[in-house]
Structure 1
Amino acid sequence: MNNLEAIYDFILNQLRELTPIENFYFKPIKPKLSDIELIAINICAEYLAIDSEYQLFRYLANSKMKGMIERSVYNRRKRKLFYYMEDVRKLMVAKFNDVGNSFIIDSMPLEICKNARANRSKICKESEFSFPSRGFCASQSSYYYGYKLHAVCSVSGVFQSFDISTASIHDIHFLKDIKPQFKNCTLIGDRGYLSATVQIDLFNYAKIKLETPMRSNQKDYKKQPYILMKSRKRIETLFSQLCDQFKIRNNYAKSFNGFKTRILSKITALTFIQLVNVFVFKRNMNNIKISII
């Protein structure tokens, strides 16, 4: 933790190179800590795997950021910055200039509490539209209670787009949301996206070719080419990194706004490390467990 200030300064300098804007929305009184500085602290905390705000502010109390912001204000402002943080993440993604015509799509479960507590849980229930639900995870062959993270990444391993839905929503519905975002490309998915109707609709709408493995009992069964099976492992590796290093399955949020902000923070931190790996240190982009100072 002795490097916290140095890491924060490095992250802040890189963010300022991405955008000259310090404050993204109007505030009657100019705060001591600008919006871009708050985002830098947030990314710094995720990089250092400080998953608790209480613990983060213990470290900040012994740094030059002491007294710059109060914990409840930090939490409130961070949630307000959700869409602006996503804009910053998109600026990072744009720097990679991944103009390839192949992308990988997948989903992962985000459990907010155990099934036994689901009926009495009040987490993320402030608005009816965001109520969590029970869903089934095929890879783990088990039911869970919470949400589902849907994501599209490039073949090189950069998240292009993501969304959060309740656990009961089928993966295939996410394809309706990304139709306007991609065109003239190939989407590589697993059997959860297998649908002849959806494949035709995607191709007619935006010339998107959906590649999924066939079920063994399907008529005219053909094994999926090895290169596509190997490419699909890239997004599974990214999900594993989010679970391992960024602890994406640890939930401390009480509201849905807080929950989605935590998820975005972790994906933004991952993208930031990929960015500095490529453009600052000239090393392997997906070496995530590595020093940035």
Structure 2
Amino acid sequence: MNNLIQNYKIILEELINTCSHIKTKPQIRVPKLSDLELVALNITAEYMSINSELQLFRYISKTELEQKIERSVYNRRKRKLFFYLEEIRRVLSAKFSDFTNVFIVDSTPLEICKISRANRSGICSTENIRPEFGYCAAQKTRYFGYKLHAVCDKNGVFHSFDFSPANVHDINYLKDIKENFKNCLLIGDRGYISEKLRVDLFNYSNIKLSVPMRKNQHEFVSFSKVKSKIRKRIETAISQLSGQFLLHINLAKTFEGLATRITSKITSFTMIQYLNFFIFKRSLNKIKINLS
């Protein structure tokens, strides 16, 4: 029995304990591999940095999972289970919701191809949300694709995320945040400077938005070193997603496929945090530790 199967069984057991109440659409023909088992396999693959389905099915060759599902069926069912996967992520992240009321917001680029290929690329070209040219201030580079907006707490657990074309300003994501959070401190970078939205967030949901001021702003005040240290937590989390979960490597051809892949990676990240904290009683963000 290889490590993938061992990790799969650990993850599946906890998904059954925490998420078995979540329902999916009833199927006329009951599949050999249930929806929850498929999600467990998907989460396990992301945790083990298996970014290719071809590679995944090489791993499960000659195991008990080989005869339960085919590769093409796995891909199709995984995309159809997008909302089921997202609901599982919400249930897992909700387990950490009582631990803090301090959150961090940030964004990261999702490049779908190099700029030199952008005008002739067919990736996501027929989608309602089409890729666009954008600029990443942190990396000081232009790119073609989408932008991932995310909110995590000060412990590094993601509680909300969304996608937008690369040319959409980060401030626009704050309009969605006020519907999902309340009575909390929200820390961001200079990309979220907006006095109008700051007041709106406070009046609507009692969200205190705190961002560093530009040096040329009237009545400039230095940003708290404590808040600066807290804000780095989301940068570390995104780096972990990029390193172990291969966040910035895109193999999808449609926006639906891209959104499913990113959701799978964030769900897997949250699942490992859940196992670390609640099951193994160890450091929350030691993601590279073996489960089995």
1:261 aligned residue: 260
The aligned residue for residue 109 of structure 1 is 109
How many angstroms apart in 1 are the aligned matches of 2:58 and 2:261? 19
What is the Cα deviation at residue 90 of structure 1? Answer: 1.0
TM-score (normalizing by structure 1): 0.97
The question of whether the paired residues in 2 share the 8 Å contact of 1:212 and 1:224 is answered with yes
What is the letter of the counterpart of residue 240 of structure 1? S
Q: Deviations over 1:166-196 (max 9, x none)?
A: 1000000000111111111111000000011
Q: Secondary structure at the match of 2:2?
A: coil
2-side partners of 1:201 and 1:17: how far apart? 40
CA distance in 2, matches of 1:57, 1:212: 46
Aligned mates of 2:125, 2:221 — CA distance in 1: 45
1:224-235 alignment runs, 5 A limit:
224-235=223-234
Partner letter of residue 82 of structure 1? F
CA deviations on 1:2-44 (whole Å, 9 max, x unpaired) are: 2111111111101000122486112111100100000010011
The residue type paired with residue 111 of structure 1 is: E
Name the counterpart of 1:98: 98
Q: CA deviation at 1:126?
A: 2.6
Superposed CA deviations along residues 148-171 of structure 1, whole A, max 9, x for unmatched, are: 110001111110100011100000
Q: 2:86 aligns to what?
A: 86
Specify the alignment match of 1:185 in structure 2: 184
* Cα separation, 1, equivalents of 2:101 and 2:9: 36
Matched position secondary structure for 1:177: helix
Which residue does the alignment assign to 2:237? Answer: 238
Q: 5+ unaligned residues in a row in structure 2: which ranges? A: none
Count of aligned pairs between the two proteins: 292
Letter in 2 for 1:119: N
Contiguous gaps of at least 5 residues in structure 1 = none
Q: Which moved further from structure 2: 103-112 or 13-22?
A: 13-22
- Per-residue deviation, residues 75-119 of structure 1 (Å, max 9, x unmatched): 111011111111111111122233522110000011010000000
Structural mapping, 1:118-157, within 5 Å: 118-127=118-127, 129-157=128-156
Residue of structure 1 in register with 2:39 after alignment: 39
* Distance of 1:30 and 1:23 partners within structure 2: 14
Given that 1:22 and 1:34 are in contact with CA atoms closer than 8 Å, whether structure 2 keeps it comes out as no
* C-alpha contact 1:46 1:265 (8 A) present in aligned 2: yes
Within a 5 Å distance, the mapping from 1:167-246 to structure 2 comes to 167-246=166-245
Deviates more, 1:246-255 or 1:53-62: 53-62
Name the aligned partner's letter for residue 194 of structure 2: S
Residue equivalent to 1:72: 72
- Supply the distance in 1 between the matched residues of 2:204 and 2:7 (Cα, whole angstroms): 45
CA distance in 2, matches of 1:22, 1:110: 30
2:209 is paired with a residue whose SS is strand
- Provide the C-alpha distance between the structure 2 equivalents of 1:263 and 1:40, rounded to a whole number of angstroms: 15
C-alpha distance in 2 between matches for 1:274 and 1:19? 16
RMSD of Structure 2 on Structure 1 (CA): 1.2
Alignment partner, residue 282 of structure 1: 281
Aligned to 2:2: 2
SS in 2 for 1:88: helix
Q: Which amino acid aligns with 2:31?
A: P
Q: Which amino acid aligns with 1:44?
A: T
TM-score by length of 2: 0.97
Kindly state the Cα deviation for residue 258 of structure 1 after the two structures are TM-superposed: 0.5
For residues 237 and 72 of structure 2, the distance between their equivalents in structure 1, rounded to whole angstroms, comes to 31
Q: Is the 8 A contact 1:98 1:154 kept in 2?
A: no
Identity %: 54
